[in-house]
Amino acid sequence: MALMCGRYGRLSRFERIAQMLALKVRNEAGELAPSYNIAPGTLQPVIVGTREGAVLRPLLWGLVPYWAKDPKKGPRPINAQCETAAEKPMFRKLLSSRRCLVPADWFYEWKALPSGKQPYVVQLASREPFFIGGLWDTWDYGQADAVASFTVLTCPANELAATIHDRMPVIVAPQDAARWLDRNEHDVSDLLQPFPAEEMTAYPVGTRVNSADNDDPDVIEPVR
C-alpha cells in the first residue's frame, strides 16, 4: 500500500506542461509517455531551476541527500511535511534553494474504511495538469554514478482532500512557478498552503491501483 502522496499520474506531454508556465523550460527528459500509476523508486520528469533557467529532467523519486555515504543505504524519503522541512537537516537547505516542480494530472490517496482502504483519484476540477512542489538534490555531483533525486512536499489537507486523508501534496500555481524555482528566493513559506478545495475534485477507483505493476487507463476508472 502506498504512503501518503505515494502515487500520482501524468498524461500531459512536455508541450502542454511548458505551455502552462510563464517561463521557458528546456526538455532533457525526452518524450513523456503516459504514466497512470507512478510509484516511488522510479525516474520521473521533474522541473528544476538552474543558472541556465528551468529544465525538465529525469529524477529518482526518493531523496538521496548529497551527504549520504551510500545512495543505496539509509532513508530515502518520498515526501516531507512542509511545516517542519525548514527545521530538518535533510530538507532545510533544499527548501531554501533547491525546490522543484513535479508535473502531474492527478494524485492518489487512500481513505480508511471499515471494509479496508479505498483508493481515490484527486485532481483539478478543470482536469488541467498541475505542479506538485518538491525538493531535489544530487548525490556525487559531477561523477559518473551521480544520483539526482526528489521528494514531494505535503501540507494539511483542504476541505475536499480531508474527506479522504488529513494531508495532501503542496500544489504550486503556474503563476508562482518562476518564484518557486528561483534559487535566490529563499522564503516561499506563503506558497506552502493547501490548494483551494473548490478548484479540485475526487472520485473512488478500484484496488488495482494498489499494485504499481498496474499502469494502464483502467486504474483511474471510477467505481461506486
Active site residues: 5, 109
Place of cell 512536499: 153
Specify the amino acid at residue 192.
Answer: L
Q: Could you write out the DSSP letters of every residue in 85-124? A: GGGSHHHHHHHHH-EEEEEESEEEEEEEETTEEEEEEEEE
Sheet of 106-113, strand order: 35-38, 8-10, 106-113, 116-124, 200-204
Give CA separation, 174 vs 103, 142, 220, in Å. Answer: 11, 31, 25
Q: Could you tell me which residues are beta bridge partners of residue 214?
A: none
Residue carrying the nine cell digits 494498489: 210
